[in-house]
Amino acid sequence: MSCREMERLVAAGRETEFAAHRATCTGCGALGLEMDRFAETAASLQAPAASRALFESLYAIPTWTVSCDGAEDLLARAVDAPLPAGDRGRLESHLSRCTACFEAGEVLGIARDLTAPAPTPWLTAKLAAAKPAAPRRRAIWGSILGPRGAIAIAYAAAVLVMFLGLNPADLARKAGTARLEQTARSGVQVARNTVVDRFGAFQERVFRTFEAVKGRVGGYGRAALSNALALVMRNDTPRRPSRPRNDDGSGAWKLSETETWTWRADRAPGGES
């Protein structure tokens, strides 16, 4: 038994119109009567009395827990030193129910337990580079024994050897130059009898001496350059030769040797490694 009008008025909260409607509608009249009866019942009910024991337990709440304000203070104190047993119990009781304070306590605990993180290598290098450079005193032996020092010493030794004439190639050149000078000297002696010849011999000696000096300087320079290049580009590993090819000019592989031919450094053409 439902009345659409009653539902509409009830949903709209129009109590006055509902009161008028219930006077004319049988179903709604009965419902209104029921409502009045239970409103009367509800109004006649008295509040159940709370026991004294309940009040005592409510009074005691501050003795076994703390408020959020109190929890903040206790958490802050707990960072520096352990709390007394009573305070610790009250705080734990509060934290067991209050998520916000529990999280705050966890964060404080984490902050206390954190250790200083080690900087990453790139950061260390960057920080070191950012620092103003202190005047550095390089150890003499350190610079001498360093790679650049060793290369400089090697070059100096090579140049010294060359200038002292201890290089075999240089010795050979010197021998050749000496023979040339001897020839020039003997040639001049043959033509020493007349003034014209003597002037011509002087002129010839100057020219030959100039040529000898030029050859010596050029020889020293080329020797120094070749020695330096050899020192820098020295490579002990013999290069693998190209595979044998046919001699007919086509550039094709020698098929019969391709299958059996293996390269070994000690048998490489041109000598040993």
Partner 1 sequence: MSVPDEKDLVERCRKGDDEAWRQMVDHLGQRVYSVAYHFTLKREDAEELSQEIFLKIFENLHRYDGSYPLLAWVVSLARNLCIDRYRRRKRERSFRFVSDDAVAPMLQSGDDPAAEALRRERTKMLFWALGEIPEDLAEILVLRDLEGFAYEEIGKALDLPDGTVKSRLFRARAEVARKVRERHEGSGRGTMATLAVAVAGFV
Which stretches of the chain are DSSP H helices? 4-12, 15-24, 26-44, 52-59, 61-64, 68-80, 85-95, 99-113, 121-130, 140-145, 147-163, 168-190, 195-232, 255-260
Among 24, 69, 148, 271, binds partner 1 (CB under 8 A): 69
Candidates 6, 91, 162, 224: give the one binding partner 1 (CB under 8 A).
Answer: 6
Nearest CA among 148, 173, 162 for reference residue 232:
148
Q: Does 32 bind partner 1 (CB under 8 A)?
A: yes
CB under 8 A, 24+ apart: contacts of 177-186: 177/212, 177/215, 177/216, 180/208, 180/212, 181/208, 181/209, 181/212, 184/208, 184/209
Q: Does 17 bind partner 1 (CB under 8 A)?
A: no
Could you identify the residue written with the tokens 């009367």? Answer: 40
Q: Residues 183-202: x/- map of binding to partner 1 (CB under 8 A)?
A: --------------------
Closer Cβ to partner 1, 60 or 79, answer by number: 60
| 69 versus 113: smaller Cβ distance to partner 1 | 69
Is residue 83 within the footprint of partner 1 (CB under 8 A)? Answer: no
The C-alpha atoms of residue 216 and residue 162 are separated, in whole angstroms, by 11
Residue 94 contacts partner 1 per CB under 8 A = yes
Nearest distance in Å: CB 108, partner 1: 18
How far apart (Å, rounded) are the C-alpha atoms in residues 242 and 250?
15
In angstroms, what is the minimal distance from the CB of 79 to partner 1? 21
CA distances from 51 to 54, 60, 97, 101 (A): 5, 15, 26, 32
Helix (H, G, I), strand (E, B) or coil at 245: strand
User: Applying CB under 8 A, which part among 91-99, 191-199, 213-221, 243-251 lies near partner 1?
Assistant: 91-99
Interface residue with partner 1, options 5, 25, 29, 67 (CB under 8 A): 67
The encoded tokens of residue 111 equal 């902050």
Q: For partner 1, which residue of 18, 91, 184, 219 counts as binding (CB under 8 A)? A: 18
Backbone angles phi, psi at 34, to 5 degrees: -65, -40
Please tell me whether residue 35 binds partner 1 under the rule CB under 8 A: yes
- Tell whether residue 48 is a contact of partner 1 (CB under 8 A): yes
58 binds partner 1 (CB under 8 A): yes
* Minimum gap (Å) between residue 129 Cβ and partner 1: 51
Q: What is the DSSP letter of 25?
A: -
User: Per CB under 8 A, does 123 bind partner 1?
Assistant: no
Q: Shortest distance, CB of residue 3 to partner 1, whole angstroms?
A: 11
If one asks whether residue 76 binds partner 1 (CB under 8 A), the answer comes out as no
Q: Which residues here bind partner 1, judged by CB under 8 A? A: 1, 6, 10-13, 15, 18, 30-32, 34-35, 37-39, 41-51, 54-55, 57-59, 61-62, 65-70, 94, 97-98
